[in-house]
Amino acid sequence: MATQTAPSPKGNRRVALLAGGLAVAMLGLGYASVPLYRMFCEATGFGGTPQRASEAQAAGVQAITRQISIRFDANIDPGMAWRFSPDQTTQSVKIGARSLATFTAENTSDHEITGAASYNVAPDEAARYFNKVQCFCFTLQKLAPHQKVKMPVSFYVDPAILDDKDLKNLEQITLSYTFHPVPNQPKS
């Protein structure tokens, strides 16, 4: 009959430390997953996430004569007491040229509301060519009771879209925003 030996205290401590380290690593990865996913989407255009371009990058893009239609879509989270709409539903722009679109937001309530805009581009594959230089969506928007504001977005469509065999004949890109209320914002 074989005899069993008890595990050594050193071995138990090693297993406990490994398990604890693995649990801490998984917890950290869980917290980091949202910002890591956002960075991945912004870098690749995955899921219709447009690119962000600096002023210098935008200045280096050469505009061409070919035009593309940009459709603007505006939504609010159900129950949010705002009106939100594009000032122009569609705009024909030169590919590579920096363009400006404006939206109007209005707080229809009797109290201050802070909103955050989520955004995407359709078709999803066009997102890697749609570049935002400046956008109201990069920061939280706080509107006083009954305040009405214009919200600009500066953008361009990268001419590289014409080298993409699946998108070179694309006629329209949709830029869509949805505003969501941001709870518990400190009063200013």
Domain holding 66: CATH number?
A: 2.60.370.10
Residue 71 has pLDDT above 80, yes or no: yes
**Same-domain check for residues 61 and 113:** yes
Residue 5 in any domain: the answer is no
Domains of the chain: total: 2
Q: What is the pLDDT of residues 152-169, one digit of tens each?
A: 999 999 999 999 999 999
Q: Assess if residue 57 is contained within a domain.
A: yes
- Shared domain for 29 and 122, answered yes or no, is no
Q: How confident is the model at residue 7 (pLDDT cuts 50, 70, 90)?
A: low
What does the mean pLDDT of the chain come to? Answer: 82
Do 53 and 38 fall within a single domain?
Answer: no
Residues 18 and 66 grouped into a single domain: no
The C-alpha atoms of residue 154 and residue 134 are separated, in whole angstroms, by 5
∠ CA 72-76-79 to the nearest 5 degrees?
165
Q: What residue numbers bound the domain in which 14 lies?
A: 10-44
Q: How confident is the model at residue 6 (pLDDT cuts 50, 70, 90)?
A: low
Over residues 69-79, the mean pLDDT reads 95
Q: Looking at residue 140, what is its pLDDT?
A: 94
pLDDT score recorded for residue 83 = 96
When pLDDT is cut at 50, 70 and 90, the band that residue 40 belongs to is very low
Calpha distance 119→115 (Å, rounded): 13
Establish if 61 belongs to a structural domain: yes
Please report which residue ranges of the chain form alpha helices under DSSP H. Answer: 9-44, 55-59
Exposure string for 5-21, b = 16+ CB within 10 A, e = fewer? eeeeeeeeeeeeeeeee
Contact 120, 88 (CB under 8 A): no
pLDDT tops 60 at residue 44: no
86 and 39 assigned to the same domain: no
pLDDT tens for 88-129 read: 999 999 999 999 999 999 999 999 999 999 999 999 999 999
Q: How confident is the model at residue 171 (pLDDT cuts 50, 70, 90)?
A: very high
Q: Do 26 and 73 reside in the same domain of the chain?
A: no
- Residues 73, 116 within the same domain: yes
Residue 178: both structure tokens together: 């949805």
> Does residue 71 share a domain with residue 24?
no
